[in-house]
């Protein structure tokens, strides 16, 4: 009797999700003769028993496609599932329903592709008897237990292209241009795109900034004949002693705070202190879209392949992670709900400082 596995994509979308699904299906079928079903819209599909059979035909031609053929949801927490009742949202525990559907389908294992929220939900379901393997995904690169997630490189390329293009208009009009990128509470995307795109000032959540230091850097560049400045800021950046800029609160989401708008705040503050025009570009969900880079396709394919190998070896409760150039499994319980932040002694930060990039603070 063949092994039957389920696969789902949870949390926010990113380039490379389809590449992972493709790899899981092809490895499962070609190497081990397994059956594969895909749950629609993340854990919502498992809870509501919405799924599709996945075979070679189903995953043909999806390697280069962005998004996910399975759909996803960043609200479908099995342990805190939102239900609209009498025009009010209430939250109920539907984890037992997820387990029942897993058992009714005769699944031997579940492969969950997602970030910290998905891994936390997966860990909870493991405690209820589901055998699971995790695959790390996020453009933010903030997932504990892996040196890099797939999706990050693609988002980095999009962000860097944007910063490249901002340079010409900034120089032409002698302006301060602020580019805001996603990343939540981690500054990996801002740091890497700022460096790769030639940013002058990079602001990340891990290093609260001083507005006066930012303005001093801009004025210093003007004195040297550089009549423009590029600031790349992560959405979770905040001033020393200050608060995050919250765009909205989404009550139905496990992570209720939606960050965004720090660039607009900075723009007004800088213009009030320096007689210099400032413009803002917020990349937002543009960073989640598009085709995955070659690197992300390769990493996603490796992750999917290794996840199926773990299932075949009856090794559950693990997430595949990148350590250096190798794929190594780590316990999901060590990953669930944790963030991987930029350390203050990061080699990236040290290199950026050496080439004159300012972080809006004295470090």
| 360 part of a folded domain | no
Segments in the chain below pLDDT 70:
1, 250-256
d(CA 341, CA 185): 8
Co-location of 38 and 187 in the same domain:
no
Co-location of 13 and 134 in the same domain:
yes
pLDDT for position 336:
84
Co-location of 103 and 130 in the same domain:
yes
Residue 317 is given by DSSP the state: S
Co-location of 37 and 177 in the same domain:
no
Co-location of 183 and 72 in the same domain:
no
Q: Is 345 a catalytic residue?
A: no
Co-location of 132 and 192 in the same domain:
no
pLDDT for position 259:
87
User: pLDDT per residue over 296-339, tens digit each?
Assistant: 999 999 999 999 999 999 999 999 999 999 999 999 999 987 88
Q: What's the domain range around 237?
A: 153-288+343-354
| 309 part of a folded domain | yes
d(CA 339, CA 341): 6
Q: Is beta strand 201-203 parallel, antiparallel or unpaired with respect to 257-259? A: unpaired
Catalytic residue among 108, 140, 142, 153: 140
pLDDT for position 85:
85
Enumerate residues 6+ apart whose C-beta is below 8 A from 336: 116, 119, 120, 122, 123
Co-location of 122 and 189 in the same domain:
no
- The tally of domains found in the chain comes to 2
Q: What is the CATH number of the domain that holds 110?
A: 3.40.50.450
| 363 part of a folded domain | no
Q: Collapse the DSSP code of 169 into the 3-class scheme (helix H, G, I; strand E, B; otherwise coil) and give the result.
A: helix
**Among 188, 150, 151, which Cα is nearest to 306's?**
150
Q: What are the helix (H) ranges across 285-345?
A: 294-312, 332-335
pLDDT for position 207:
97
pLDDT for position 252:
63
**Among 50, 55, 31, which Cα is nearest to 39's?**
50
192-228 burial: b if 16+ Cβ within 10 Å, else e: bbbbbbebbbbbbbbbbbebeebbebbeebbeeeeeb
Residue 164: is it exposed, middle or buried by C-beta count within 10 angstroms (0-12/13-18/19+)? middle
Co-location of 157 and 273 in the same domain:
yes
């Amino acid at each position: 009797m063949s092994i039957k596995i389920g696969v789902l994509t949870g949390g926010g979308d990113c380039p490379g999700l389809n590449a992972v699904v493709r790899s899981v299906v092809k490895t499962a079928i070609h190497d081990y003769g397994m059956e594969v079903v895909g749950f629609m819209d993340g854990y919502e599909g498992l809870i509501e028993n919405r799924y599709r059979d996945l075979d070679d035909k189903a995953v043909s031609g999806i390697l280069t496609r962005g998004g996910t053929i399975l759909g996803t949801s960043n609200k479908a927490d099995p342990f805190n599932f939102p239900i609209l009742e009498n025009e009010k949202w209430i939250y109920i525990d539907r984890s037992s329903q997820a387990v029942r559907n897993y058992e009714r389908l005769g699944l031997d294992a579940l492969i969950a592709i997602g970030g910290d929220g998905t891994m936390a939900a997966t860990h909870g379901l493991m405690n209820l008897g589901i055998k699971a393997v995790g695959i790390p995904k996020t453009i933010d690169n903030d997932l504990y237990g892996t040196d890099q997630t797939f999706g990050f490189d693609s988002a980095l390329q999009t962000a860097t292209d944007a910063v490249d293009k901002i340079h010409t208009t900034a120089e032409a009009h002698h302006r301060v241009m602020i580019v805001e990128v996603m990343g939540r509470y981690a500054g990996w995307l801002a740091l890497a795109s700022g460096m790769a795109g030639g940013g002058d000032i990079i602001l990340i959540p891990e290093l609260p900034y001083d507005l006066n230091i930012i303005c001093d850097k801009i004025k210093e560049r003007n004195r040297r004949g550089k009549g423009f400045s590029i600031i790349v800021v992560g959405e979770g950046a905040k001033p020393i002693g200050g608060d995050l800029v919250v765009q909205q609160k989404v009550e139905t989401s496990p992570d209720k705070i939606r960050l965004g708008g720090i660039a607009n705040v900075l723009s007004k503050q800088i213009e009030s202190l320096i007689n210099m025009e400032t413009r803002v570009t917020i990349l937002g969900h543009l960073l989640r879209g598009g085709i995955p880079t070659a690197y992300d396709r390769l990493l996603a394919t490796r992750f999917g392949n290794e996840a199926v190998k773990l299932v075949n070896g009856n090794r559950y409760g693990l997430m595949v992670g990148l350590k250096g150039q190798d794929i190594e499994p780590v316990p999901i319980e060590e990953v669930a709900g944790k963030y991987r932040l930029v350390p203050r002694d990061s080699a990236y930060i040290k290199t950026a400082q050496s080439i004159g990039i300012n972080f809006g603070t004295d470090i």
